[in-house]
Structure 1
Amino acid sequence: MRILSVHNHYQIRGGEDESQKAEVRLLQDKGHQVDVYEEHNDRIPTLGKIDLASQTVWSRETYQILKSRFTEQTYDLVHVQNFFPLISPSVYYAAQAKGIPVVQTLRNYRLLCPNAQFFRQGHVCEDCLEQFIPLPGVIHACYRESRAATATVTAMITVHRALGTWTNQVDVYIALTEFARQKFIQGGLPAEKIVVKPNFVHPDPGWGEGGGNYALFVGRLSPEKGLDTLLQAWEKLGHQIPLKIVGDGPLANQIAEASTRLPGVEWLGRQPLSQVYNLLGEALFLVFPSSWYETFGRVAIEAFAKGTPVIAANIGAIAELVEHSRTGLKFRPSDWEDLTAQVEWALSHPAELTQMRQEARTEFEAKYTADKNYQQLMGIYETVIKNR
């Protein structure tokens, strides 16, 4: 099978980028020929505002390049991982013009929400969810805190709704969780075209010992990740168990200050994946305090792979991944007191925490290995090609 994988990479690489690259590597390891068409947001500063806005809605460059490629080379399928902002939905039209089926993975909520997160001013926001034209996003300057930039994203969403792009130009959408699938259906995407396939971890990093006697946070240091809840909890918990924080982002200064002020809090900055795995494997548990609708939560299944339970906010997709009292614990989102209570329960129940380590690893082996994911992905691809 020959596949074209389409990627628009972010300036800050994170879980989405890692998942995209892992999928390409997996397909190649299984003997498929995977070509990659990619753009990177590093190119944005070279474009004028008008050119960038125009390209976000419809990239003539992408359309022409890919139409020529499809003329010269035969592909069984085009899998779009991310088209925003430089590739644009014109990628779908280039493929469909040559009769090539299109699969789109939904790694964020960009088709429904201008900032792609359903999150504004520290809280979940669904103001644009069922709006044909997501004007509230423009009013609140939700994308990059700019009304002009948000207007561009809103134009892209609205124009392609009006053209029927989201309904007619994509053969199958892949949502990462059932929670995310239901949000996309609520937002108007055709239910019959959305299937669920989670992310995976490849290669398998193997079990950890869990002997580090610390809690761990891994993620982007940004408001939607629930860091205020985490730090409030550790004002009380710092003398009971240390907290290591791995990551970087706009709240880095706040985390640096907290690490000097709060006992037990240590900020390690950004770390290579190998070191993240080491830290995950030795942690007593991972804390996942997000206050937005995560579409997945890759670090949670990385923790499961290491046999590490997850204490997670009961919100969005992460609430679907963690089973309370089996693979971890859940707390009320944005409620630092409930987070504190769950951590204290874990610390006072070492036997149950040890059993959760076994269950977390079992969950990984049952759902999130490369082989399991490959079987699901091939099923999706074969169905799409057969139907076409």
Structure 2
Amino acid sequence: MHIAFIHPSFPSAEGTGATHSATQIVSGLSELDHDIDVYCASEPQQNRLSSDINLYHLDGESQHPHTNTKLNREVKARTNEFRKYDIVHSYLPSLIPSVANLGKNLDLSTVVTLNAYGGVCAKNDLLYLNEEHCEAKSNAKCLNCIARTGHQNNEQGYLYQTVSQLFSLRSINAGEDRLEYIDGFRAPSGHVRDNYTKFGFEEEKIHVIPHPLNDDFLVDHTSDFSEPINILYVGSLERHKGVDKLVPIIQGLRQREHDVELTVVGTGGLQSKMEEQSVNRNVEDYVDFAGFVSNEQLPSVYASHDVFIHPGIWEEPLARVYIEALATGTPIVTREYGSIETIIGDGGVTTDGSIDGFVQTIAELINANKLPALSEGGRSHVERYDRSQIVSQVEDLYGSVLT
């Protein structure tokens, strides 16, 4: 099978969970002897994968300042180049317009991974006014949301943010008119499928296939779950991740006389506010802002912590951090939403998402000595994310759209 795979960055790049998940799938398909060319949203630095994989940079045909608009134009400009493929698979839902154009004009099949909500939401998070889950779309509603949230949690300024999201909305509208030319969608979780279905995507086209595990995270857990309890957060420091709750959670636990410490791995617009929080709440000695940590170093970081916490306020599609925590045996405490309980299985517990809810849940786990059992449960549950199984499911998806 000759596959064109559109990567959100480039294979072996550091970056978002989508970057690492895409690389795992590319590697798995290559190992099964598929003929795969990777079209990269970022300039490839080096190819650490098989020498049989060709890397191409989506650049040189458009100078548009808006990234998604530029990438759509780059794909469209290469229409003739894509004629040789059996499958074009985009890991960026924002490229639905240009991938659908290929499906309409060429004799090939098209697949898009719905890695987040960029196919239906200009903010990519389905959080209306950054507060509530959005379940219906209109241009008026989207414009109101964009205009009223552009000043929040943004390092690039209101004008940049709002104009960028207006371009994204235009692209989303163009994609909605061409959905018939996308043959199949891959959703990483059941709630992603359900959310896209609410916005008019055909349910029967959406195949639920989780992200694959990177085997580098299958390491021995090294903490012994005794105090001090080391709590870990890994991710961007942005509002939709709920990171403004982290410091108050630590304060609440310490007020209950639990000896807890927090490590924050990641960077983002709320870091300075969080640092201020830690000082104002007198817990600065118990919070470590570790900044960026490479993917190579992350397994040992997870394994040395007693709890992984994820306080996000949006319906995270399937955060790789859950899979990584399961693999390293680090118990998960997260907000209840969508299909999260299926995602974490016996490797974690959910709360109502409030600060008090997190404090109460973590305190109960410590008091009842339940963390070791959750650690074991995570190591067992992570088998469902085995890369060979996930790549096989992707192959099945390809086969279904080719017939």
TM-score by length of 2: 0.83
**Partner residue of 2:389?**
372
**Partner residue of 2:112?**
104
1:149 and 2:155 aligned? no
Q: How many Å apart are 1:257 and its aligned residue?
A: 3.3
**Partner residue of 2:34?**
32
CA distance in 1, matches of 2:93, 2:269: 24
CA distance in 2, matches of 1:7, 1:279: 27
**Partner residue of 1:17?**
19
Tell me, yes or no, if the aligned pair for 2:190 and 2:338 is still in contact at 8 Å: no
1:300 and 2:319 aligned? no
Of residues 271, 296, 305 in structure 2, which corresponds to 1:274? Answer: 296
**Partner residue of 1:113?**
121
**Partner residue of 2:3?**
3
Q: How many Å apart are 1:299 and its aligned residue?
A: 0.4
Q: How many Å apart are 1:309 and its aligned residue?
A: 1.5
Equivalent position amino acid for 2:259 in 1? Q
CA distance in 2, matches of 1:228, 1:289: 9
CA distance in 1, matches of 2:201, 2:296: 38
Equivalent position amino acid for 1:150 in 2? Q
Alignment of 1:33-112 (within 5 A): 33-40=35-42, 51-52=64-65, 56=69, 59-65=72-78, 67-71=79-83, 74-82=84-92, 84=94, 89-112=97-120
Find runs of 4+ consecutive structure 1 residues off by over 6 angstroms: 41-44
Alignment of 1:206-355 (within 5 A): 206-211=218-223, 213-238=229-254, 239-260=258-279, 261-262=282-283, 263-323=285-345, 326-333=346-353, 335-350=354-369, 352-355=370-373
Of residues 138, 147, 152 in structure 1, which corresponds to 2:143? Answer: 138
Tell me, yes or no, if the aligned pair for 2:93 and 2:115 is still in contact at 8 Å: no
CA distance in 2, matches of 1:43, 1:100: 20
Percent identity of equivalent pairs: 22
Q: How many Å apart are 1:102 and its aligned residue?
A: 0.5
Tell me, yes or no, if the aligned pair for 1:293 and 1:317 is still in contact at 8 Å: no
Equivalent position amino acid for 1:331 in 2? T
CA distance in 1, matches of 2:92, 2:27: 17
**1:338 to 1:32, Cα distance in 2 relative to 1, 3 A:** same
Q: How many Å apart are 1:317 and its aligned residue?
A: 4.8
Equivalent position amino acid for 1:13 in 2? G
What SS does structure 2 have at the residue aligned with 1:214?
strand
**Partner residue of 2:50?**
none
* Residues 120-148 of structure 1 deviation map (CA, whole Å, 9 limit, x = unaligned): 5542241xx423x4322222325674443
Tell me, yes or no, if the aligned pair for 1:291 and 1:315 is still in contact at 8 Å: no
**Partner residue of 1:385?**
402
* Residues 226-251 of structure 1 deviation map (CA, whole Å, 9 limit, x = unaligned): 11222211112245211111111111
Equivalent position amino acid for 1:36 in 2? V
What SS does structure 2 have at the residue aligned with 1:189?
coil
Tell me, yes or no, if the aligned pair for 2:40 and 2:58 is still in contact at 8 Å: no
CA distance in 2, matches of 1:170, 1:81: 13
Equivalent position amino acid for 1:360 in 2? G
CA distance in 2, matches of 1:5, 1:337: 44
**1:83 to 1:176, Cα distance in 2 relative to 1, 3 A:** closer
CA distance in 2, matches of 1:13, 1:336: 28
1:185 and 2:197 aligned? yes
Gaps of 5+ in 1: none
Q: How many Å apart are 1:320 and its aligned residue?
A: 3.9
**1:269 to 1:382, Cα distance in 2 relative to 1, 3 A:** same
Q: How many Å apart are 1:8 and its aligned residue?
A: 4.1
TM-score by length of 1: 0.86
What SS does structure 2 have at the residue aligned with 1:364?
helix
Gaps of 5+ in 2: 44-56
**1:285 to 1:173, Cα distance in 2 relative to 1, 3 A:** same
